[in-house]
Structure 1
Amino acid sequence: MNVRAAAAESAVASADDEMEQRVAALVARARDAQRIFEFAGQATLDTAAAAAAWAIMEPARNRQLAELAVRDTGLGNADDKVRKNYRKTLGLLRDLHGQATCGVVARDPAAGIVEIARAVGVVAAVTPSTNPAATPANKIINALKCGNAVIVAPSPKGYSSCALLIDFIHAQFEKAGLDPALVQMLPAPIGKAATAALMRQADLVVATGSQANVRMAYASGTPAFGVGAGNVASIVERSADLRDAAHKIALSKTFDNATSCSSENSVVIEDAVYDAMLAELAQCGGVLLDAAQKAQLQAAMWRDGKLSERCIAKSATQIAQRAGLADVAAREPTFLMVEESGFGAGHPFSGEKLAPVLAVYRARDFAAAGQIVRDIYAYMGAGHSVGLHTANPDFFAIALGERLPVARVIVNQAHCLATGGNFDNGLPFSLSMGCGTWGRNNFSGNLGFRHYLNVTRVAYPIEERVPELDALLGDYFRRVGR
């Protein structure tokens, strides 16, 4: 190794050591604060969670956070972010209200078991640029409710929004007499080295965002919850109320310029209602491109196989303009549609687009529609969820839930609003959706407060109950023999 190379390697090592020490100082502060906070009692934990919630929900602060997020990330639109910040936090507060998260939380006298909720410690919260305020707030509130401290690793683009959110939280903490060290964030500039150091030193990692960050979380050596890739498809079965389905798909596809991993990327329509459904989608502002226009759009949206930042989370009109589709842009479309029949890297519209662009597939019947969704998810999006629009949900929804690699089947709802919990369904409010082993995740539900807890179980002696062997294996013996 020459002198210049050795010097460069030494400089990198020195910078890594310095970063490790800076992160260690943050974690030490958090750990000192958390050790006291954990045993402060349920009322204090609830106060901390409420303080963090009101920090983002108060209208003036909410608007400021939303506008800053759009300005600095270039993603989405401020009005939808205001709605997301408020409703997702309000829903989380509903889910947390009255929940016991410290001390004895359950007793089962028959089993002789008492359950005690315990904090996990210091949580590393890795958050994306698509929701630079809503996602950190969700994780912070859950962590505090359970007696933890939290250190946020925001995306570089989302740094300013996250910093402002934490300033607002600290101001609320000051009013409530809470230690600001309970909620911190990595210092700028944000990079992989700092995020990796935080993951290694924390007690739990909750990672939302790119699959690279999720893989890094799982490889950190620290217990971790990470989410899978989005690429949601919705099926329109022939009995569906087409106008209602089109309205809900359009709402989901366009909300916050499709920044959500739960926004439909494809719609699979049964042949019997294909043309009628396209007409309803057009009534909702969708513009169907012809083959030449589709090729232009593809060239603009993907560069060297990667989504172009010029189109991600922009309005349909902006995307059309950047693709050179002046006639389409002049129509001020709400979203763009392209017909698709293939899957995989050679058919990029079959993947996640993070933009108000919808791939449309024609299916011979419901069984064929299910197979198309399976083929889409074999490329991208396995484990996340599937939408279904039908007048016969009892049969078709269960059939999808039994056969498709999905953790959620969303029936007759605007998918991106429903998947993370809504006031008209029973799913927990969350901005982090587990995708099970299909999506290479270790959980398949919506990330919620119970993921931020340890549980200690006290086992008391009870009267011995030893079953007879025949009670357990008698049926097997009768059918198969001994």
Structure 2
Amino acid sequence: MQMNEEKDSPAARTVAALVARARAAQQVAEGYDQQRVDELVAAAGWAIMEPARNRALAELAVADTGIGNVDDKVRKNHRKTLGLLRDLQGARSVGVIHEDADKGITEIARPVGVVCAVTPSTNPAATPANKIINALKGSNAVIVAPSPKGWSTCAQLIAHIHAQFDRIGAPRDLVQCLPAPVDKASTHELMRQCDLVVATGSQANVRAAYTCGTPAFGVGAGNVASIVDETADAELAAERIVLSKTFDNATSCSSENSLVAVASAAEPLLAALCARGAWLLGAARKAELAQLMWPEGRLSPAVIGQSATRIAEKMAAREGAGRPEWQAIATARPSMLIVEEDDFGEDHPYSGEKLSPVIALYRVADFAQAADTVRQLYAYQGAGHSVGLHSARPERALALGLRLPVSRVILNQPHCIATGGSFDNGLPFSLSMGCGTWGGNNFSDNLNYRHYLNVTRVSQPIPEQVPSEREIFGSFFDKYGTA
């Protein structure tokens, strides 16, 4: 009885109406050829990339969420969307997409249907745009479930997309948004009624996606560490780290949360970081900052997506804090705040994700201890995501990939910019990073258009290819015999 009541709830009825409209529109899109589908993609991309719209969306996002900064959101909206459109250009997603004559296999792309896109407040324009474009590339309809704080930005983005659809004569209902106020009930109903869920944001949303009864892709928790070894160029490493850690006030799950420096590299690295505006906190200031950041054992919204200067200003206004020193730090307008750490876990909150320009520094004896330190960090939080390495020995990146529970190893690059795809690396442009089984996910790729497709395979007969027992067991027999 309770289940029937839930299915007839106001949220269920509202979502059912949206889904019905989406299904009707998707049936239209399913008849489009590749050229027409690519027009949908271009229309949605231009909706966010046109400079005036881009900046207005960035300003609205910061005004409504209080997270990040406008100029970086403008760059993110532009760069991530442009990179995604580059990845999709020429990609086949309609009809026959691959033929293998030797194996007699023909692959046909088929839509998944109606996609539920759960998106976070940290990227209320860029992440919905990325998911919408990928979904459209597969001839799907998509309904966005934004965070409550990000609703107005998402709604404005979709209004821009609808205007572009009007220009090309495409159905508006291909892209929709849950009506405000967005809550757990409506989001969970959307998850239940759609054909595929793609969830980015809190681990609570990811867990809900995985248990909603609908096929789902979800992402793991971020808590990226970057290793700086004894061969690294300290100036280049510092430049990349500051660029990454300060971008959009460290709202990205790919922003570094810890630096693991080999002993001989630590002081040159610190000097280079401080020359770029970083501020190393002493033990007293570290303890005071922890009270602001984790007042009840959980990361406080008071620091999420705030600049280092703003955080220092908040500390200068707190009772019981070292106000003169915090005021001096705020006046210096630091780029980021550094604390030294040597342990891991709940009793050492700086070892976890901070979603702000605050970073922990671990000093280690050598590269082997650096790798083990990252392993211990990820045993607490962040397993499966990625690790950074600043080194003149690229073979060490391979060693980390063979040993650590990570889906990506980022060598000598600004981590948060590189991990989600960049114009100077080969990773797909995405704002949703799979973390594999290490991170509780069912994929370890950067979420891309292939995840929004079903693929039908036509199998034709080919000449029989039956191996001999010797071809299969030869090396085994030679080593162990045939008993």
- The TM-score range, normalised by the shorter chain, is over 0.9
Q: Structure 1, residues 318-377: CA drift from partner, whole Å, max 9, x if none?
A: 101212322211211110000000101100000000000010000110000011111111
2:466 is aligned to: 466
The residue identity in structure 2 corresponding to 1:40 is Y
Matched residue SS, 2:142: strand
The residue identity in structure 2 corresponding to 1:24 is A
The residue identity in structure 2 corresponding to 1:27 is V
2:172 is aligned to: 180
Identity %: 64
- In structure 1, C-alpha distance between the alignment counterparts of 2:429 and 2:441, rounded to whole Å: 19
1:368 is aligned to: 369
In the alignment, is residue 437 of structure 1 matched against residue 437 of structure 2?
yes
1:59 is aligned to: 51
2:253 is aligned to: 261
1:50-199 → structure 2 map (5 Å cutoff): 50-199=42-191
Contact 1:434 1:446 in 2 (8 A): yes
- In structure 2, C-alpha distance between the alignment counterparts of 1:24 and 1:477, rounded to whole Å: 61
Matched residue SS, 1:156: coil
Contact 1:45 1:145 in 2 (8 A): yes
The residue identity in structure 1 corresponding to 2:396 is F
1:333 is aligned to: 334
- In structure 1, C-alpha distance between the alignment counterparts of 2:268 and 2:11, rounded to whole Å: 58
2:392 is aligned to: 391
Contact 1:196 1:220 in 2 (8 A): yes
1:230 is aligned to: 222
- In structure 1, C-alpha distance between the alignment counterparts of 2:31 and 2:481, rounded to whole Å: 57
Matched residue SS, 1:269: strand
Contact 2:229 2:367 in 1 (8 A): yes
Tell me the matched-pair count.
472
Q: CA deviation at 1:15?
A: 10
1:6 is aligned to: none
2:347 is aligned to: 346
Q: State which drifts further: 31-40 or 120-129.
A: 31-40
2:424 is aligned to: 424
1:448 is aligned to: 448
In the alignment, is residue 41 of structure 1 matched against residue 42 of structure 2?
no
Q: CA deviation at 1:419?
A: 0.1
Q: CA deviation at 1:70?
A: 0.1
Query: Which of 199, 206, 215 in structure 2 is aligned with 1:207?
Result: 199
Matched residue SS, 1:44: helix
Matched residue SS, 1:407: coil
The residue identity in structure 1 corresponding to 2:453 is L
- In structure 1, C-alpha distance between the alignment counterparts of 2:311 and 2:168, rounded to whole Å: 46
- In structure 1, C-alpha distance between the alignment counterparts of 2:258 and 2:6, rounded to whole Å: 48
Matched residue SS, 1:318: helix
The residue identity in structure 2 corresponding to 1:370 is A
- In structure 2, C-alpha distance between the alignment counterparts of 1:442 and 1:14, rounded to whole Å: 29
Alignment RMSD, CA only?
1.3
Structure 1: gaps spanning 5 or more residues: 1-8
Q: Structure 1 residues 237, 32: CA separation in 2 closer, same or farther (over 3 Å shift)?
A: same
2:323 is aligned to: none
The residue identity in structure 1 corresponding to 2:428 is P
Contact 1:299 1:323 in 2 (8 A): no
Q: CA deviation at 1:52?
A: 0.4
Q: CA deviation at 1:107?
A: 1.0
Contact 1:66 1:81 in 2 (8 A): yes
- In structure 2, C-alpha distance between the alignment counterparts of 1:463 and 1:310, rounded to whole Å: 67
The residue identity in structure 2 corresponding to 1:64 is A
The residue identity in structure 1 corresponding to 2:115 is V
Contact 1:270 1:366 in 2 (8 A): yes
Matched residue SS, 2:31: coil
Matched residue SS, 1:171: helix
Contact 1:16 1:193 in 2 (8 A): no
Q: CA deviation at 1:16?
A: 6.6
The residue identity in structure 2 corresponding to 1:211 is Q
Q: Structure 1 residues 14, 413: CA separation in 2 closer, same or farther (over 3 Å shift)?
A: closer
Contact 2:309 2:334 in 1 (8 A): yes
Matched residue SS, 1:195: helix
2:208 is aligned to: 216
Matched residue SS, 2:396: helix
- In structure 2, C-alpha distance between the alignment counterparts of 1:402 and 1:451, rounded to whole Å: 25
The residue identity in structure 2 corresponding to 1:358 is I
- In structure 1, C-alpha distance between the alignment counterparts of 2:392 and 2:430, rounded to whole Å: 28
In the alignment, is residue 25 of structure 1 matched against residue 25 of structure 2?
no
Matched residue SS, 2:182: coil
1:291 is aligned to: 283
Q: CA deviation at 1:416?
A: 0.3
Structure 2: gaps spanning 5 or more residues: 317-325
Contact 1:204 1:224 in 2 (8 A): yes
Q: Structure 1, residues 21-55: CA drift from partner, whole Å, max 9, x if none?
A: 11011001101110121121111110001100000
Contact 1:432 1:447 in 2 (8 A): yes
Q: Displaced runs of 4+ in structure 1, greater than 3 A?
A: 12-16
TM-score (norm 2): 0.96
Contact 2:232 2:265 in 1 (8 A): no
Matched residue SS, 1:35: helix
- In structure 2, C-alpha distance between the alignment counterparts of 1:225 and 1:391, rounded to whole Å: 36
- In structure 1, C-alpha distance between the alignment counterparts of 2:7 and 2:357, rounded to whole Å: 41
In the alignment, is residue 357 of structure 1 matched against residue 358 of structure 2?
yes
Contact 2:6 2:12 in 1 (8 A): no
The residue identity in structure 2 corresponding to 1:378 is A
Q: CA deviation at 1:312?
A: 0.8
- In structure 1, C-alpha distance between the alignment counterparts of 2:470 and 2:459, rounded to whole Å: 28
Q: Structure 1, residues 439-469: CA drift from partner, whole Å, max 9, x if none?
A: 0000001000000001100011111111111
- In structure 1, C-alpha distance between the alignment counterparts of 2:471 and 2:168, rounded to whole Å: 58
Matched residue SS, 1:307: coil
- In structure 2, C-alpha distance between the alignment counterparts of 1:135 and 1:59, rounded to whole Å: 18
1:5 is aligned to: none
- In structure 2, C-alpha distance between the alignment counterparts of 1:463 and 1:396, rounded to whole Å: 45
Contact 2:259 2:361 in 1 (8 A): yes
